[in-house]
Structure 1
Amino acid sequence: MFNAVDVIRTKRDGGVLSDAAIDWVVDAYTRGAVADEQMSALAMAILLRGMTPGEIARWTAAMIASGERLDLSGVSRPTADKHSTGGVGDKITLPLTPLVAACGAAVPQLSGRGLGHTGGTLDKLEAIPGWRAALSNDEFIAQLQDVGAVICAAGEGLAPADRKLYALRDVTGTVEAIPLIASSIMSKKIAEGTGALVLDVKVGSGAFMKSAQDARELARTMVELGGAHGVRTVALLTEMSTPLGLAVGNAVEVAESVEVLAGGGPPDIVELTLTLAREMLAAAGLDADPAKALADGRAMDSWRAMIRAQGGDPDAPLPVARETETVRAERDGFVTAVDAYAIGVAAWRLGAGRARKEDPVSAAAGVMLHKKPGDPVQAGEALYELRTDEASRIAAARDAAGGAVVIGDAAPANRPLVLDRVA
């Protein structure tokens, strides 16, 4: 028989937890038999001491076993999903999901909400009048079969251990523990039943992983976990020191995603969407050209069908902020950097993000960039625009974004969007 204190001590002292100890502590915590303060101590011990690959694999399996596992074997198309570790302006899921569905795959995209400086896919889509995030398992599978694309919240029955532990990590300074990040992401993705998974692991100031070394370790850990559970998994390390696209917020990111689906949009969004689509289609065993599906309107048709299936009106006007303030360049030159973290915090201060899980978010709030690294700029030109429904929020957002856009005498060297691939 195990007890929580012994399990904590083992990890605190650098020991390896047995399979039985891991199974017991995850199950007992989910049931409420292990207290939050005890799991907090164990999470901190894991952050400081790490876990072996065997421990991480078992921890992930125990989290999956804490709830139900969806069976997508009845879906007639091959399934492929994508997960991003979160960034600023990262609306890629929105155009990517219908695009991959338009190419013949089924995309079971379980998504989350924003916290702090990173945006949440569900918050973005809820800017669309009528759209709903909560689907029953039956609705989820039926839409996957009929439309081929679903973006929704994970059901209550999927990896409940993760839901409990995720909330705890957020308030105990243990969010950065790679074993806990990897097992959190992969337990949900494996439980959702997808056959193939592409991971977009962000690196840079606007990402949770600031260094390529940490991002590579996380990517390798998740790829191994996927393989061990029979899910074909590949990871890309992608740049997140600069926001993706020009829009950061909720409604503004939906509008930018629709531009991409209409054949336009910012080049970085189009490039990353197509790169991830090709990886997903290859992992699902499909030979299709996503650029063609974007150009001929099939991806847009797929988007409209997906939005309608979840009660949304794809033609409804999106919310527009009541208050705006434009920040202008003080000198001539070239934009050498746009700090993703600072822009993300500014959008959060404007009301686009939340400090706590239960906080409401504003659909209309956000930041619109007018310049990206490499762009020439003249004194007095607009650099970015702050948008909010509450004028009282502008000062704090202006402070947060203060030094975000750096202007120098020469254009910076081009930094690639995709930094590495782990398979």
Structure 2
Amino acid sequence: MSSFETIGPTTITTNVSVIKISPDGDFIAIGGTRNNVEIHERVDNVWVKLYDFDCPEGMEDSAVIDIIWHPWLRHDLIIAEENGVLHVASFRDQDGPNYGLVKSLNVIDVSPIYDAADWQCAVLNDDATELTGSSGNDIHTYREPFSVVHDDLPFSVYTPLPKRFAAEEDEEQVVNLWYLNTSHIVVVYPLGIASVSTVSKELIWDIPVHAGRSIFSAAISPAKDVIVAINVHREAEIYSLDNQSYVRKVETSVGLFRPVKSAIFYTDNCLALAYAEEVGFKIIPNLNALHSYDLLLARSKGRHFPPASSLIVYDSALMCGVGKIIVGKPGHGGPLTNIILVTPRLEANISDTDTDESESTPAIQISKWISLTPPMIIVSFMGLIAALVIRRNTVPAPPDTTSVASAFSPTFIRRLVRNFV
């Protein structure tokens, strides 16, 4: 059964702007639009708020636009504000007056270089030696973000965008970006996917995208070998980073098409596609297998979500080896009670029904699409019958012909076919 956990209630009374799960899955950081960040930790199987960001005086009114966890120092993170300030913060020290607080250890002011309000897609490499983000067409790389002392200017700005990838001049070009290794990133543009060196600032390879299938949202697999992109037609498409090529559409293989707005991996090969006009996902438990099921949240007691609303998808992570997705429900109780941690099941049966315990008796509608098409069933059936006929014609009949006729009776064949299918 799919499971659902409520995160909170939170103490953030303003709108939630960002939620990020720590790499080890032990903490959830929730950021608000008034520079408030709180960190929740699981205690006795319940998520509890244990730490609050101790915002420096004079910076209380700036919204948190991103939270970037350190790859292996589990209590360290970077809190990015829209005013151009990045806080290198930690809640490792919990002695005395620091108890329950996330302290700002160092401030990186990048506002003279670019407008941080437009900064997005910030990521750390696996060594935590580079922090890279984007603003418009520009890529920004900050070296040694967790170091207090720098011998030279740690910030570099470059624009590796191939001209053929450009859309409208006034549009923001970078859709998303990730590190492939310590010094190479992959950048998704509306009209292409490009690999760039953060050292030489040069383009390494690229995958052009046709203008009729331009990309507005994308997700990368944890193994960093596949990107699933959502195009302007609200379709999901697979691109191989190993082969630097387009692979196929997702919808052509896993059932009827409904518009989707974003994709997110919750394990190496498990994908969730968030519907654009429904409060739920199309869950694909195995990207290499041609099957999926719908996971839709429905409210109870005659109440309904706003028309054409959808989930707010924040983040995903492995927790104790299980893939989970953290989402926000639309139009439901403000930011205090609408944050849900979803654990999709690996498979689903048509008759199954799940219950979301985060809300009083809502229905979770599950339907499954099977890709075993009628031609495949017919071929399988014909192959079985042919095998039975060959066996009957090549194996000498035993003296008791009655038992042979009984063994190959229509009832027996039907049972074999039923078990096979």
TM-score (norm 1): 0.26
Richer in strand (by share): 2
Richer in helix (by share): 1
Q: Relative contact order (alpha carbons < 8 A, sep ≥ 6): 1 or 2 greater?
A: 1
